[in-house]
A = this chain, B = another copy of it.
Amino acid sequence: MRSLRVSSVALPIEFGDETSNFAAARAALQRAEPGLIVLPELATSGYVFGDLDEACALSMTVDDPRLTGLADVVPDGVVAVIGFCERAGEQLFNSALVFDRTGTLGCYRKAHLWDEEYRFFSLGAEAGTLMDTPIGRLGVAICYDIEFPEVPRRLALAGAEVLALPVNWPLADRPAGEHAPETIQAMAAARASRLPIAIADRHGTERGVTWTGGTAVIDRDGWVVATPDAHGVASAVVRIDASKALGANNDVFADRRPELY
């Protein structure tokens, strides 16, 4: 039975203040416990771009020293994920960098764009991605990606042991006592594939958008096992072993009927 410390951080992000946002990211990364740490989508820039010029001004290439320098503050044994506004030639992507103390491990570009993101971003070429890292086989998806059940399922079937999910969830109406609808999608995806999920969301407001504040760790049973502490960190040790057993006599992968789907 394998287990892993998984943490997600409700990072304090100020729209457009890259200096402050990188400082906040470094502070969170320095405190990270061995395992996985996930910071929000577009954590270096903020989310609510007014126009394309503003998005371009807050974009950076994947080898920008401010980004790659984050590796220097990460403790040994930590794999980190942070969302940023990526510039690649003439295109912008809503991306997530994955890195550890040795440097960049990979970069994922969001495949499903929400609302006005189409004004700024190009579509990524993968629907979630997989990376083999020192802490295990990591799945990465961003925000609206999780609302497509194909994404976590695909990653889990390909061996993802845990899913990092940087998000910026605008607050939606919901009935009293219910989780946010996006949280419910993540809980269902986790249980369906016995796949823990680390959600790093925004909290508070930005330019009139109120955030859901959905930062959480969800275990393979689909339950929220951690929400942010006083430092904004949701952290839990979760099972990540390969077993897909559900109950005594079932296995959610072996019981599939892929020839019928």
Contact = CB atoms under 8 A, between A and B. Distances in A.
Contact of A191 (B153, B185, B248, B252): B185
Contact of A192 (B125, B147, B224, B255): B147
B115 A248 contact: yes
Interface string A217-261: 000011110000000000000000000001111101001111011
A134 interface: no
A164 B192 CA distance: 20
Contacts of A149: 149-150, 153, 188-189, 192
Contacts of A249: 115-116, 118
This protein's copies in its complex = 2
A127 B250 contact: no
A256 B249 CA distance: 34
Nearest to A151: B261
B147 A223 contact: no
Given A187-B184, A188-B188, A148 B250 contact: no
Contacts of A114: 247, 250
A150 B252 contact: no
Interface stretch (A1-9, A20-28, A77-85, A172-180): A172-180
Contacts of A64: none
Nearest to A185: B188
A171 interface: no
A111 interface: yes
A221 B112 CA distance: 19
A181 interface: yes
B181 A148 contact: no
A252 to B, nearest CB: 7
Contacts of A135: none
Contact of A181 (B118, B126, B127, B221): B221
